[in-house]
Chains A and B, each alone.
Chain A
């Protein structure tokens, strides 16, 4: 099945530094990837939709200059938390939408969402 790899799985950094998280679709192409954030004992909140070859779409209240998203290829999206502060400490999870495989009848397996294992960020 489709696999999404997220790296790093765990990162601790000092306040003021920037942290980059990668989300890779390993065996499928993803034109769209989604970045979520989950604070302790809360549910996942969508931060932004990452679109290959174009600018990301950010949800209300999410600072685009703070959370930089780059989706330069069909298999990789990155989220950079710039000038991280302790309040940015959270569990960041990406999901990718399988573009599907071209078949005579159209595309099979398209639009299946797969989640990465998440990246736990702790800012000291």
Chain B
């Protein structure tokens, strides 16, 4: 089983649509969770951290369910500029694993006019 698994996608949605991505992780000791965005041939960039209580940043809402080891990202009112690959990322527990990020395979989102 992969350490971090995401929806395979790709997702093709019209502008203004709401789209949700899911992710599961296998290590229950994982400490921190993130969503990164990666544009074609570029480095990944942090979109948002994911907190246990759920958090929102504008049109983006992230949720974490530790019991189910499940993370989600909701994008409302999709824009053309949201087209990218979204990576679910988990950071290891303490000690030497701290700071070590494990990436999901990514979900491609294409927003069309």
Shortest CB distance B108–A (Å): 9
With the chains together, A49 CA to B96 CA distance in Å?
A: 9
Main secondary structure of the interface of B (DSSP, over half): loop
B102 touching A46 by the CB < 8 A rule? yes
The residue of chain B having its C-beta at the shortest distance from the C-beta of A118 within the complex is B43
With the chains together, A58 CA to B103 CA distance in Å?
A: 17
Tell me how many residues of A have a C-beta within 8 Å of chain B: 21
Shortest CB distance B84–A (Å): 13
Q: Does B101 contact A (CB under 8 A)?
A: yes
A117 touching B103 by the CB < 8 A rule? no
A115 touching B100 by the CB < 8 A rule? no
Tell me how many residues of B have a C-beta within 8 Å of chain A: 16
The residue of chain B having its C-beta at the shortest distance from the C-beta of A45 within the complex is B103
Interface members, chain B 61-106 (any A CB < 8 Å): 87, 96, 98-106
Residue of B42, B43, B96, B99 ringed by the most chain A CB atoms within 10 A? B43
Q: Does A103 contact B (CB under 8 A)?
A: no
Q: Does A120 contact B (CB under 8 A)?
A: yes
Q: Does B44 contact A (CB under 8 A)?
A: yes
A43 touching B43 by the CB < 8 A rule? no
A43 and B104 in contact, given A34-B99, A57-B96, A111-B99 (Cβ under 8 angstroms): yes
With the chains together, A57 CA to B96 CA distance in Å?
A: 9
Residues of chain B lying within 8 A (CB to CB) of residue A116: 43
With the chains together, A36 CA to B44 CA distance in Å?
A: 11
B43 touching A113 by the CB < 8 A rule? no
The residue of chain B having its C-beta at the shortest distance from the C-beta of A46 within the complex is B100
Interface members, chain A 12-44 (any B CB < 8 Å): 32, 34, 36, 42-44
Interface members, chain A 83-124 (any B CB < 8 Å): 91, 93, 95, 97, 111, 113, 115-118, 120
A117 touching B43 by the CB < 8 A rule? yes
A44 touching B41 by the CB < 8 A rule? no
B100 touching A49 by the CB < 8 A rule? yes
Q: Which of B45, B102, B105, B106 contacts A115 (CB 8 A)?
A: B45
- Tell me the B residues contacting A by CB distance below 8 Å: 41-45, 87, 96, 98-106
Nearest 5 pairs between A and B by C-beta? A43-B103, A115-B43, A43-B105, A44-B103, A118-B43
